[in-house]
Chains A and B, each alone.
Chain A
Amino acid sequence: MQKKSNVILRLVVLALILFVVNMISSKLYFRLDFTEDQRYTLSRATKDILHDLDDVVTVKAYFSEDLPAQLLNNRQDFEDLLLEYENRSGGNVVYEFVSPNDDEEIEGEAQQYGIQPLVINVTEKDQVQQLKAYMGAVLMMGDRREVIAVVQPGVNMEYDLTTSIKKLSVVDKPKVAILQGHGEPSLQGLVQLSGQLSVLYDLEPLDLKQKSEVPGYIKTLAIIHPKDTISAEEFARIDAYMAQGGNVFVAYSNMNGDLQSGYLSKGTSIGLQEWLRNKDVQMGDQFVVDANSGSVTVQQQNGMFNFRSQIKFPYFPMLSEFPDHAITKGLEGIMLPFVSALSYIGRDSVTQYSPLLMTSERSGLATTPAGVSIDKRWTEADFNHGSQTLALALDGPLVGNQRAKLVVVSNGQFIVNGNPPQQISPDNINFASNAIDWLSDDTGLIDLRTKGVTSRPIDQLEDGEREIIKYINVLVPILLVLVYALIRKQRYASKKQRWMQGNYK
Chain B
Amino acid sequence: MNKIWIITRRELSAFFDSLIAYVLIVIFLGLSGFFTWLFGNNVFVIGQASLQVFFQIGFWTLFFFIPALTMKMLAEETKSGTIELLSTKAVTDWQIVTGKFLACWLLVAIALVATLPYYMTVSQLGTVDHGAIVGGYLGLLFLSAGYISIGIFASSITNNQIVAFLFALLIGIFFQLLFDVMGFNFRGLSGAVFNYLSMRTHFDSLSRGVIDSRDLIYFASVVLAGLTVSQAMLSRRNWQS
Residues of A participating in the B interface, judged by any CB pair closer than 8 Å: 1-4, 7, 10-11, 14-15, 18, 21-22, 25-26, 29-37, 39-40, 66-70, 72-73, 122-124, 320-321, 332, 454-459, 461, 466, 469-478, 480-482, 485, 488, 492
Contacts and interface: CB of A to CB of B under 8 A. Distances in A.
29 contacts: A3-B239, A7-B236, A18-B224, A25-B218, A26-B196, A29-B212, A29-B214, A31-B212, A32-B212, A34-B134, A34-B210, A35-B210, A36-B130, A36-B132, A39-B209, A68-B186, A69-B194, A69-B195, A72-B192, A321-B127, A457-B49, A458-B126, A459-B126, A470-B37, A472-B117, A473-B37, A474-B37, A477-B114, A478-B33
Contacts of A35: 129, 131-132, 135, 208-210
A475 to B, nearest CB: 8
Given A34-B210, A69-B194, A456-B48, A488 B185 contact: no
B224 A473 contact: no
Given A33-B210, A69-B191, A485-B22, A18 B125 contact: no
Contacts of B184: 68-70
Nearest to A30: B213
A69 B240 contact: no
B37 A32 contact: no
Contacts of A68: 183-187, 191
Interface in B172-200: 183-188, 191-192, 194-196
A37 B221 CA distance: 31
A323 to B, nearest CB: 14
Given A40-B208, A66-B188, A14 B225 contact: yes
A252 B25 CA distance: 56
Contacts of B30: 474, 478
B134 to A, nearest CB: 6
B118 interface: yes
A32 to B, nearest CB: 4
Given A32-B211, A456-B127, A474-B30, 20 more contacts: A2-B240, A3-B240, A4-B236, A7-B235, A26-B196, A31-B211, A34-B131, A34-B209, A35-B210, A68-B183, A68-B191, A69-B191, A124-B187, A458-B125, A459-B125, A477-B29, A478-B30, A485-B16, A488-B17, A492-B17
B187 A66 contact: yes
B185 A456 contact: no
Contacts of B228: 10-11, 14
Q: Name the residue among B129, B187, B238 with the largest chain A CB count within 10 angstroms.
A: B187
Interface string B220-241: 0100110011001001101111
Interface residues of B, number: 67
Interface in B45-66: 47-50
A72 B191 contact: yes
CB-based closest 8 A-B pairs: A34-B131, A474-B33, A69-B195, A69-B191, A35-B209, A458-B125, A458-B126, A477-B114
A34 B132 contact: yes
B217 interface: yes
Contact of B221 (A3, A22, A332): A22
Given A2-B239, A35-B208, A68-B187, A474 B38 contact: yes
B11 to A, nearest CB: 16
A484 B187 CA distance: 51
B224 A31 contact: no
A1 B217 contact: no
B43 interface: yes
Contacts of A481: 22, 25-26, 29, 114
B239 A478 contact: no
B227 to A, nearest CB: 10
B121 A456 contact: no
Contacts of B192: 69, 72
Given A22-B218, A320-B126, A456-B50, A31 B38 contact: no
Contacts of A476: 117
Contacts of A455: 48
Given A31-B211, A456-B126, A466-B44, A18 B235 contact: no
B217 A34 contact: no
A478 B118 CA distance: 12
Given A29-B212, A69-B192, A2 B238 contact: yes
A122 B187 contact: yes
Contacts of B33: 473-475, 477-478
A469 B36 CA distance: 12
A34 B135 contact: yes
A21 B224 CA distance: 12
Contacts of A458: 43-44, 47-49, 122, 125-126
Nearest to B213: A29
A313 to B, nearest CB: 15
B1 to A, nearest CB: 21
A251 B81 CA distance: 80
A29 B218 CA distance: 12
Given A2-B235, A4-B239, A34-B134, A469 B121 contact: yes
Given A7-B239, A485-B22, A473 B126 contact: no
B209 A26 contact: no
A76 B33 CA distance: 37
B87 interface: no
